[in-house]
Structure 1
Amino acid sequence: MSTFDTSAGGVPQAPAMRIDEAALRRYLAATLPDFPAAVDRLEVFQFSHGQSNPTYLVKAGATNYVLRKKPPGKVLPSAHAVEREYRVLAALQATPVPVPRVLCLCEDPAVLGTPFYVMEHVRGRIFTDPSLPGMPPQQRAAAYQAMAHTLAALHSVTPSEVGLDGYGKAGGYNRRQVWRWGRQYQQSVAAGQAMPEMLQLHKWLEANIPASDSDVAGTRISHGDFRLDNLVYSSTDPSRVLAVLDWELSTLGDPLADLAYNCLPYHLPSSIPTLASLPRPLPPGIPDEQQYIRQYCTAAGLQYPLQAHWSFYMALSIFRLASILAGVGARAAQGNASSSIASQVGSNAVVRSLAQKGLQLAGVPLPARQQPAVAATSTSGGGGGGGQQPPGGSSAAAAAGAVTLGLGPSPRVRQLLQKLHRFMRDHLYPAEPTLNAHAGTDRRWTVHPLQEQLKEEAKAQGLWNLWLPADMAVALQPLVQEACAGPAEMGLLLGPGLTNLEYSHCAEVMGRSVWAPECFNCSAPDTGNMEVLARYGTRDQQRAWLLPLLRGDIRSCFAMTEPNVASSDATNITASIRRQADAYVLNGRKWWASGASDPRCAVCIFMGKTDPTAATHAQQSMVLAPMNAPGITIVRPLPVFGFDDAPHGHSELRFDGVRVPAANMLLGEGRGFEIAQGRLGPGRLHHCMRLIGMGERALELIAQRSDERTAFKQKLWQHQSVRLDIARSRMELDAARLVVLDAAHALDMVGNKAARGKIAAAKAVTPSTVLAILDRAIQVHGAAGVSDVTPLAHMFAGARTLRLADGPDVVHLETIAKLELAGQRRARL
């Protein structure tokens, strides 16, 4: 049955849940003024719906009551607090929140064995299947809108105004929830039997609690288990919610955590029995997740789209559900569960499946189980003379994933790496001479058709948008779904949903050629700009710019650095963004706007000051400026050690009274630094990932050249100085790779902020390491190394520039030193 009629009664009481009907009658007769005195016997039935506190329909003649009580036996601390349910229901009686009228609370376990409360019986219907089968589309739409409006009504209540200011702590809700459900899960399992997936998800949640968690003013009443089957609807009008039930988990908390838990059916896999999930495609009339969130925001008076770490809230909801079900399973094992299917619902398989889903939403790789370590292949020669063998195998070592246990490529990435290496061998390397030659002609600021052909071939092989992390792909799914012709295109645009660690192995392969990243739609600055639009853009902004970028139809640039100030300190920027009516006017000079000279560059993210009088880090904003807007002038492309990187380019731009719609503002005025910090993690680490591939190719070229050339009657590799250069290059490159992989793994596990030290280390170590290897490769090649005969000179220019483009080395070293000193101080306390 997909609909439960509350007036239809319940089922006979389970033996373990049977209550003393005579004792209950005596208590009600003495407590309730309106209790029918002529009734000398009660009829008691148990509701089978739910696996929480046992709930009963109590019939006293023509009068019906509902009773909820704690389950018998040992229960987890703080769980099944019916006393709190009673308190919140009593407080909400005169508010817009529809709740049953509560009649009495009995905290004396001598009456029925455990505390209980009694409330009025609300006649209506409960929908147990979120797909609402058998209902017309317009009624489905009405039911979902009523649910969203009811949740918004709850969150509109100020706790202090209804006497609930002490119902929970103000602020810090998400941190407490992560701690509470982590502890409750541990108490539900035997010692040493905790699932690695649950432990890893809990660790990620601890490290990714939103900064807004400390916002006391935003604290509201949180239902904690708000879902469709906890609502009683009118029997005749699906747009009316008559009562919200099951307040066991209610407290003071974060409204978005409530909303995320309410959205679980959009994410739960259908393979888990008894858990409510929505089918794909959605039944007609049921809004998709973003449409539903918009309904809630409209009713709650919030900005849409939500500017929040949605993946955290969804992962927390999954973790909480998994912990609850683990407790249900534990009670079933003790024989005191309130549902006959509790052992099935709380099984290890169900809990593990949920934990894996939570990790997927968080973009975290599953715990390694059978992932063997792969030893690095030595490439240095021996210590003697002519009997030695030439060095080789450096590329094979890299392709095999020559890294330590836990940081190697996952099985799905191994398959991608094989395809990437094959693509580079069959298509990319053969195309390099043509693309290099085109870059030296007077038509170099046009796109060679071969570049577009390579992109189409990469799409055909499914090697597209590999950079897009899983949590972002999940968030973008509704947008992409409405714009795509079918599942194939949708899957292409959303990519495989790799973690940062997984993508690092792929980016290494792409870094072996300056032409490669664009072929897979994984080039800078587009990946960073797409991330900004995905995380901070409105839906209209995403439709206008993100979708074409995901398709590879356009390119973009980022304008922050200025010629007249030290832009490594972005508080120095002088460009202005001024509001005029329904528009913003941009003025300023920018340079090193990579990609601005590309004829396909259609949009620029412009950073300027909206309020120079605000706090230092609240003066700057970011706004989207179409490159064809009047007032934007490309002054010139700036060469990098003589390379102008056509048709991409690194341009100097002038913005003279550029007028853009006010709707082009990203996130809000004064939030430019917030966006920049969100952009600095994965996007900047991508450069380091690609640099490792550049170093690998340089090392290969050293080995090849040393075997091809003879000097002073010996092959170059037979000279000790060359062998030592090869040995040092291998050791340093493997060390740098581990630093980068460790930073990528930290990004997955703890997020940008907590991983900033490891990211800084990767940015400081990798360019310098690869520069040293490139320098050795150039030296081995002699004059050819500084010419266009090899890619080494171009690579050297790019690697040297990254010691500035990703922030000066000293900035990264300062970050590392401050964190290290702070850690040492904490250790001494």
Structure 2
Amino acid sequence: MSNTIHTVTEAHFHDARNQYPQDWRRLANYLHGQGLDFDSDIPPRQFATGFGNLNYLIRLDQQWAVLRRPPPGPIPPGANDMARESLILSRLPKAYPLAPRALHYCEDSEVLGARFFIMEYRPGLSIGGQIPETIRQNWRGEVPLGSHLGTLLIRLLADLHAVPPERVGLDQLGKPDGFIQRTLTGWVERARLAWSNHPPADLIRLIEWLQQRIPADQGHCFIHNDFKLDNVLLREHDLSPVAVIDWDMGTRGAPLYDLGVLLSYWTERDDPPCMHALNQMPTAGDGFPGREQAATLYQNLTGTTLTSLTYFRVLALLRSAVVFQQICQRKTLNGEDNDSGVEFGQLARELCSFALDVSRGQYF
């Protein structure tokens, strides 16, 4: 690979003043001891996207690579699991080539203050809440831009769910038996911690609804656990997939939960303001299929019945609400911008209310 960083511009990185510092000299010494050559003459750059893990473009063994580590401060239970992600990316690419290969894992938190791993760099375009205007103007596909992206997402998810975990040595990862109950219990506990024992009324109602309707365990598969558009890197010229990233919550579990998580980010034009405020995927325009159309396509591709999908939709929205409340809590504890913390907290409460609306059938 050449020294050129394809498809990446200055806008993709934090500037030097806003970059979270790392002890690069210590990293170089550690990697040298592992037989790896870290090029300290090319300063690492921190990618600007995301609220969670910190990602840096580095030069390793004369190739570009990505160093990935958790954010500073307390880590919620089960989150930002570098060991898990490194294990997945050392095995899954054999059957799912869009998963980047893990190159090295470091369990010694003394090196950079946290466990980290390094993976291959796949240059590509990441689309978040807004489609770049240049992409919209240059699209020459046979179907509307949103139709292409929405269909692509569902097909990639269906392809992932078709990978037998035992084929790639991931058949011991996670515990699929009792997955639904355990997932609910985990997010209820995280909600209690995030709201510091002062939960809003809609959160209490939401948890009661979920606890009273737990479906029977279904067939399981390997799931990504945070599958969404900005975790799919795309070639800029034709928007074909280059990579699927952010595997730190991957496990064996219910496929409809993975679909429910994806749909929890899938905003529609007539959704309430909180779903638009999420700004996670640009699905409210540009010809994107609606959530029901997306779910039907998934059913047609996989043969999976959608009987319990509403439950998983509601559970995934609870998860989103808790995540934004955790961000609010972290910003408050770290003394960061108070206004943004308040906004995240308000969004979390409104998502609880929207989840109740979904449970009542007011939205798909």
Q: Which residue matches 2:279?
A: 275
Q: Which residue matches 1:167?
A: 173
The alignment partner of 2:144 has SS state of helix
The alignment partner of 1:110 has SS state of coil
| CA distance 1:279–1:249, change in 2 (3 Å) | closer
**For 1:187-202, what aligned pairs fall within 5 Å after superposition?**
187-191=193-197, 193-202=198-207
1:26 aligns with 2:32: no
Residue number among 342, 355, 359 corresponding to 1:358 in the alignment? 355
Q: Deviations over 1:211-234 (max 9, x none)?
A: 2x2x3xx11111111000111012
Residue number among 210, 218, 223 corresponding to 2:215 in the alignment? 210
Q: Deviations over 1:356-398 (max 9, x none)?
A: 00011111xxxxxxxxxxxxxxxxxxxxxxxxxxxxxxxxxxx
Q: Which residue matches 1:298?
A: 300
TM-score by length of 2: 0.86
Q: Deviations over 1:599-629 (max 9, x none)?
A: xxxxxxxxxxxxxxxxxxxxxxxxxxxxxxx
**For 1:371-520, what aligned pairs fall within 5 Å after superposition?**
471=361, 473-475=362-364
Q: Deviations over 1:429-462 (max 9, x none)?
A: xxxxxxxxxxxxxxxxxxxxxxxxxxxxxxxxxx
Amino acid at match of 1:343: G
Contiguous gaps of at least 5 residues in structure 1: 364-470, 476-829
Contact 1:16/1:336 (8 A) holds in 2 = no
| CA distance 1:290–1:190, change in 2 (3 Å) | closer
Q: Which has the larger radius of gyration?
A: 1
Q: Cα distance, 1:312 vs. partner?
A: 1.0
Distance (Å, rounded) in 1 between the aligned partners of 2:241 and 2:258: 17
Contact 2:103/2:120 (8 A) holds in 1 = yes
Q: Deviations over 1:69-99 (max 9, x none)?
A: 1222222232221111111111202013511
Distance (Å, rounded) in 1 between the aligned partners of 2:223 and 2:131: 25
Q: Cα distance, 1:180 vs. partner?
A: 0.5
Distance (Å, rounded) in 2 between the aligned partners of 1:168 and 1:261: 18
Q: Cα distance, 1:350 vs. partner?
A: 0.8
Distance (Å, rounded) in 1 between the aligned partners of 2:281 and 2:114: 33
Q: Cα distance, 1:143 vs. partner?
A: 2.3
Q: Which residue matches 1:182?
A: 188
Distance (Å, rounded) in 2 between the aligned partners of 1:181 and 1:341: 25
| CA distance 1:235–1:309, change in 2 (3 Å) | same
Q: Cα distance, 1:174 vs. partner?
A: 1.7
| CA distance 1:148–1:132, change in 2 (3 Å) | farther
Q: Cα distance, 1:67 vs. partner?
A: 1.1
Q: Which residue matches 2:118?
A: 118
Q: Deviations over 1:21-60 (max 9, x none)?
A: 1112222333355x36xx3434122222111111222246
Amino acid at match of 2:154: A
Amino acid at match of 2:238: D
What is the Cα-based RMSD across aligned positions, in Å? 2.7
Contact 1:67/1:119 (8 A) holds in 2 = yes
| CA distance 1:325–1:15, change in 2 (3 Å) | same
| CA distance 1:156–1:59, change in 2 (3 Å) | same
Larger RCO, structure (CA 8 Å, separation 6 or more): 2
Q: Which residue matches 2:243?
A: 243
Contiguous gaps of at least 5 residues in structure 2: 1-5
Q: Which residue matches 2:105?
A: 105
Q: Which residue matches 1:827?
A: none
Structure having the higher helix fraction is 1
Distance (Å, rounded) in 1 between the aligned partners of 2:200 and 2:49: 28
Distance (Å, rounded) in 2 between the aligned partners of 1:344 and 1:12: 26
Contact 1:17/1:72 (8 A) holds in 2 = no
Amino acid at match of 1:204: W
How many residue pairs get matched? 347
Amino acid at match of 1:359: L
| CA distance 1:49–1:340, change in 2 (3 Å) | farther
Q: Which residue matches 1:346?
A: 344
The alignment partner of 1:346 has SS state of helix
Amino acid at match of 1:45: R
| CA distance 1:344–1:229, change in 2 (3 Å) | farther
Amino acid at match of 1:184: R
Amino acid at match of 2:107: E
The alignment partner of 1:157 has SS state of coil
* Identity of matched residues, %: 25
Contact 1:260/1:314 (8 A) holds in 2 = yes
The alignment partner of 1:225 has SS state of coil
Q: Cα distance, 1:123 vs. partner?
A: 0.7
| CA distance 1:59–1:83, change in 2 (3 Å) | same
Residue number among 131, 136, 146 corresponding to 1:140 in the alignment? 146
TM-score by length of 1: 0.39
